[in-house]
Structure 1
Amino acid sequence: MACLTGDQHITRFLLEHGAWVNAQSIDNSTPLCDACAGGSVDCVKLLLTSGALVNPPLLPATPLHEAALRGYTDIVALLVTAGADLNVNDLHYGTPLHAACSMQAPSADCIKFLLRAGASVNAIKNHKTPLHYIAMYSKSVEATQLLLAYGANAYMQDSHGCTARHLAGPSSAMAKVLAAHEKCPPSLTQCCRLAIRSQLGPARLQHITQLEAPSVLIGFLQ
């Protein structure tokens, strides 16, 4: 309860007096999950330094899912730096990127951070990709363009044979963006960028900045 309400002082007091940092509630939630859901950066930092598991086993949703679902980019960054699994599936949404894309008003900053960090842009949950989720829940043009820039496959179909454009509806701005994308295949330059990102793997945020390359190329890869 202290973590859920973001009370850093009570959280610290309880930990100093023997509270189990990885205890699971009846809802199979850990204090770190609750701190991420509550949006408390200070509580998240405190729990991580006190031994909280960033990838707790056998949970319906991980701490990263909780933060991504609510668009808490600062907390997402803390968890990724601490080794959070970017592409693990939960029981409800799918990957953390799926969760971030299921918001009615998705956070472009959070989605971009997950993509830059190595989240799989074409991950599947219940036959749907993150792009399908955007089409279903928000139809955000900004989020759509981000996903496409990081290699989202606009042609992928769900179990009913629907692409994201079909789910977005013919009159939506998102459908127009997707229709234009389908008519214009990615450039060779963009394909090369996506291939290099893929080769660098999930830790590419660190790897890209360490490349001995001009700053303009570093920025291009990011």
Structure 2
Amino acid sequence: MLGDKENKKMVDISNVLADPKARLLHACETGDSDRVYLDLKHAEEGDQTILSDLSLGALVEATTADGVTPLFAACKGGFVECAKLLLTNGAMPNRATKAHKFTPLWISCQKGRDRCVKLLLEQREVMIGGLNQRAADGRTPLYAAAESGSAPCVRLLLDAGARLELRRHDQSTALIVAAVFGHAEVVELLLEAGAKLKPADEDGTALDNARKQKGAGKREQVIALLEEAMAKRGHAEVDPDAPLIED
């Protein structure tokens, strides 16, 4: 016999399956590409017995109260087949969530979903307006990828021409945040791409930040990379008069 919790879960799932928008969102969250395909096909064919008078466009761009779209949900989970189906059927790749202004590309980078990042970068709209699109706190997709330590995502973004020096509102850069978290491979990629060493946030440069972290010994490789880059580029360790590099 099912308990109250199990019964409630079954009712919740039934409600989801009965609502075409919720059903598509759920399918994208769980990576059910067969369900996504069927729902989009029914919408394209105008099967209103299943879709309750929803058009294909309205279904593809259905959102939660927070502004999460099916494409966002698919990219967050790394479900590239679902994302492909949605994009093929007109999903808007740069649409952001309401409060945090996270885009599908941004969340893909933050979660390290490099296959979704690659797919999104193949979309003209993303290359024109989404590659450097900021979240509400100023973080770009490159910043998100650097923060998460996803070297494959960082590499894809750099190859696409992502801007290196765009700052978060706290003035930190992609290089600074990668150094803070000890992501050596990401730091190396950013340095190879020409990331500037001097931009600083309130805690200093990328090198300063790496040295200040607790357990800095775990960041020895990052510190060594930054020290080597400083020496190669002829930068002094301390240069209080160095201008901040603005956006």
Alignment TM-score, normalising by the size of structure 2 = 0.69
Shift of 1:108: 1.3
Alpha-carbon distance in structure 1 between the residues aligned to 2:65 and 2:39: 19
Shift of 1:119: 0.6
SS of the residue 1:4 aligns to: helix
* Amino acid in the other structure paired with 1:70: K
CA contact (8 A) 2:203 2:209 kept: no
1:115: which partner in 2? Answer: 158
Deviates more, 1:108-117 or 1:57-66: 57-66
Shift of 1:93: 6.1
Shift of 1:10: 1.1
The equivalent position to 1:94 in structure 2, one of 114, 124, 139, is 139
Q: Is there any run of 5+ residues in structure 2 with no aligned partner, and where? A: 1-25, 44-53, 235-247
* Amino acid in the other structure paired with 1:43: C
1:204: which partner in 2? Answer: none
Work out whether 1:70 is the aligned partner of 2:118: no
1:168: which partner in 2? Answer: 210
1:56: which partner in 2? Answer: 95
The superposition leaves residues 75-126 of structure 1 with CA deviations (integer Å, 9 ceiling, x where unpaired) of 11110111311101012461101111111xx221111110010111111112
* Amino acid in the other structure paired with 1:16: K
In the TM superposition, 1:118-137 aligns within 5 A as 118-126=161-169, 127-137=171-181
CA contact (8 A) 1:94 1:124 kept: yes
The superposition leaves residues 22-78 of structure 1 with CA deviations (integer Å, 9 ceiling, x where unpaired) of 112112111000000011110010000010001115642000011111112111111
1:12: which partner in 2? Answer: 37
CA contact (8 A) 1:101 1:134 kept: yes
Q: Which has the higher helix share?
A: 2
Deviates more, 1:66-75 or 1:30-39: 66-75
Alpha-carbon distance in structure 2 between the residues aligned to 1:49 and 1:165: 44
CA contact (8 A) 1:136 1:168 kept: yes
* Amino acid in the other structure paired with 2:104: P
% of aligned pairs identical?
Answer: 35
Alpha-carbon distance in structure 1 between the residues aligned to 2:210 and 2:82: 38
Alpha-carbon distance in structure 2 between the residues aligned to 1:136 and 1:185: 21
* Amino acid in the other structure paired with 2:37: R
Q: Which has the larger radius of gyration?
A: 2
Shift of 1:17: 3.2
Alpha-carbon distance in structure 1 between the residues aligned to 2:175 and 2:150: 14
CA contact (8 A) 1:5 1:38 kept: yes
> What is the aligned-residue RMSD (CA, Å)?
1.7
The equivalent position to 1:31 in structure 2, one of 70, 84, 96, is 70
Q: Is there any run of 5+ residues in structure 1 with no aligned partner, and where? A: 187-222
Paired residues in the alignment total 182
